[in-house]
């Protein structure tokens, strides 16, 4: 399940033999499991609070839709009605409202299309802390929801962890991430660290 208040998934920690709470920014690698469909299943590698890195399987529904809170069974005190009400109702209303306004729970810059595009946790390929900004930011390789091509984005942890939260400025690497002799992970790290030029996209500037 996804705790929509803390913005963390409940995933299994084999070392602690129990559940641990994992934010999207603690993911390190996401791969679609070959052969699984309806629902699709993803292999998620994440850095656990226990200090180790684990791999677990997460279904597409859990990964991309649970964070929107529609399935949550938690309740909250509605101060207007004085009653406990389902968080899910509140979150579903919020999601409908946001989508109607043309907002998406997650957005990333697509360099090949020179445009902001919707994305999901399942769109992430690699995630790593970005030490140049004192660990406050995270570098991600994201597959565009629209054109399926890849771009390196540098975003805040909240941009990944909190659905509907969008950074006012997003840095990205202005180089096409194409297939060549380098492994995708090696190329991702090269683009992030040995840096071809980075460009900043500002929300206000459109």
The site for Zn ion (CB under 5 A) is made up of 13, 15, 48, 50, 110, 113, 144, 146-147
Q: How far is the CB of 126 from Zn ion (least distance, A)?
A: 17
Q: How far is the CB of 150 from Zn ion (least distance, A)?
A: 9
Provide the 10 A C-beta neighbour count for residue 3: 16
Q: Between 131 and 146, whose beta carbon lies closer to Zn ion?
A: 146
Q: How far is the CB of 30 from Zn ion (least distance, A)?
A: 18
Residue 12 DSSP code? E
Q: Do 1 and 66 meet the contact criterion of CB atoms below 8 Å apart?
A: yes
Q: How far is the CB of 155 from Zn ion (least distance, A)?
A: 16
Q: Between 113 and 135, whose beta carbon lies closer to Zn ion?
A: 113
Q: Between 33 and 50, whose beta carbon lies closer to Zn ion?
A: 50
Closest residue by Cα to residue 121 from 200, 45, 54: 45
Cis peptide before 117, with omega less than 30 degrees from 0? no
Closest residue by Cα to residue 66 from 174, 163, 196: 163
- The residues, ordered by sequence, that sit 6+ positions from 112 with a Cβ below 8 Å of its Cβ are 144, 147, 149, 151, 176
Q: Between 95 and 142, whose beta carbon lies closer to Zn ion?
A: 142
Rounded distance, CA 5 to CA 2, Å? 9
Q: Between 95 and 154, whose beta carbon lies closer to Zn ion?
A: 154
Q: Between 91 and 109, whose beta carbon lies closer to Zn ion?
A: 109
Q: How far is the CB of 51 from Zn ion (least distance, A)?
A: 7
Closest residue by Cα to residue 151 from 187, 182, 202, 180: 187
Q: How far is the CB of 171 from Zn ion (least distance, A)?
A: 17
- The residues, ordered by sequence, that sit 6+ positions from 113 with a Cβ below 8 Å of its Cβ are 144, 146, 147, 149
Q: Do 5 and 72 meet the contact criterion of CB atoms below 8 Å apart?
A: no
């Amino acid at each position: 399940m996804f705790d929509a208040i803390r913005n963390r998934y409940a995933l299994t920690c084999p070392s602690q033999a129990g559940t641990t709470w994992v934010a999207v920014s603690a993911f390190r690698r996401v791969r679609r499991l070959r052969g699984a469909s309806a629902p699709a299943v993803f292999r998620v590698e994440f850095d656990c609070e226990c200090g180790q890195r684990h791999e677990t399987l997460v279904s597409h529904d859990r990964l991309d839709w649970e964070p929107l809170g529609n399935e949550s069974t938690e309740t909250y005190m509605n101060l207007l009605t004085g009653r406990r009400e389902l968080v899910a109702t509140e979150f579903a209303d919020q999601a409908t409202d946001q989508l109607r306004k043309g907002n998406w729970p997650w957005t990333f810059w697509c360099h090949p299309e020179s445009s902001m595009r919707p994305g999901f946790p399942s769109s992430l390929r690699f995630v790593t802390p970005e030490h140049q900004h004192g660990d406050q930011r995270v570098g991600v390789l994201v597959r565009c929801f629209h054109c399926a091509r890849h771009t390196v984005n540098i975003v805040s942890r909240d941009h990944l962890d909190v659905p509907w939260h969008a950074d006012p400025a997003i840095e990205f690497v202005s180089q096409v991430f194409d297939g060549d002799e380098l492994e995708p992970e090696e190329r991702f790290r090269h683009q992030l660290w040995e840096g071809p030029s980075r460009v900043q996209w500002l929300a206000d500037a459109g």
